[in-house]
Amino acid sequence: MKKSSIIKNDFLKSLPYLLPPLILYTIFYFYPLAMNIYLSFTRWNLTKRPPTWVGPENYFRMFSDPVFQKALLNTLIFVVSVVSGSLLLGLLLAISVNRQTKLASITRSLMLIPYILPDIAAASMWLIIFGPGPSGYANHILSLLGLPTYSWFYDPNLALPMVILYSIWKNVGFCALVIYAGLRSIPKDYIDAARVDGASDWQIYFKIIIPLLRPIMIFSLASIIMMSWFVFSSVYILTKGGPGTATMMLGLLVYLEAFEKGRAGYAAAIAVFSTLLVIGIIVLQMRWYRGYEKY
């Protein structure tokens, strides 16, 4: 039998298996994606009146819109800070709990609590703790200690660091758990062999454990980048992008443009741009990872 007919035969045989997911993907993924790209070239206010084709106007507008620029900058700062903070603290936490004691076991369970808490509950709790003026717990304790109080989420200079801090607190448990799983999968023989060769604890961590954790770190990195790039609910609850535009993020801007201002076309353009940007970052990251795979 010819090679091409074998391929054709295989394809026909696999079609019934491929078709259901393909149809579902087309309806629920490719079609909305294509619609979003189409909408990004239109002006539409989400109502019955049909979208008007405006060409690349929304994309040109994006780059002259100071709020978009601020949101892009804020998102980049947010992603870099949350990713590095969550991974670093997650690594330290994972190493700390990587032992067979009762306390370590309790800590492993506790560290996941912020991650599994819904944003509405966790963010509301933060709003109460870091409430403005004398009514907030944090400010109350600071004032009892004779220290100055802060406006936390309402101060244009503090709001973004506070949102970053919240997100690190929220994600660190997830990173720690993933890294902990990676730590558990490292064969003990490698470490024992290093010890026999006279390696110190630090050398074992930096020369053996951390390099072997790289694949798991890359996975955590990609997950946290995606989670933080499209951050919405926590920022919406904590600051609504304010004060001013101090905590405006791309995800929130898309929502506000579409569902508050009724500019669905412009919101779609921002969504397309920001998706392409994050895809670019993930591709670069994968290439970087492939470079290390040969390790």
Q: Site residues (CB under 8 A) for other proteins? A: 43, 45-49, 67, 96, 99, 101, 103-104, 107, 131-135, 137, 140-141, 143-144, 148-152, 154-156, 240, 242-246, 256, 258-263
Between 107 and 285, whose beta carbon lies closer to other proteins? 107
Question: What is the nearest approach in angstroms of other proteins to the Cβ of residue 43?
Answer: 8
Question: What is the nearest approach in angstroms of other proteins to the Cβ of residue 263?
Answer: 7
Between 10 and 260, whose beta carbon lies closer to other proteins? 260
Q: Do the Cβ atoms of 93 and 176 come closer than 8 Å?
A: yes
Question: What is the nearest approach in angstroms of other proteins to the Cβ of residue 277?
Answer: 23
Between 225 and 246, whose beta carbon lies closer to other proteins? 246
Question: What is the nearest approach in angstroms of other proteins to the Cβ of residue 125?
Answer: 13
Question: What is the nearest approach in angstroms of other proteins to the Cβ of residue 143?
Answer: 7
Retrieve residue 178's tokens: 């993933």
Between 212 and 252, whose beta carbon lies closer to other proteins? 252
Between 192 and 260, whose beta carbon lies closer to other proteins? 260
Between 155 and 275, whose beta carbon lies closer to other proteins? 155
Between 5 and 135, whose beta carbon lies closer to other proteins? 135
Question: What is the nearest approach in angstroms of other proteins to the Cβ of residue 124?
Answer: 14
Question: What is the nearest approach in angstroms of other proteins to the Cβ of residue 258?
Answer: 8
Retrieve residue 231's tokens: 């951050």
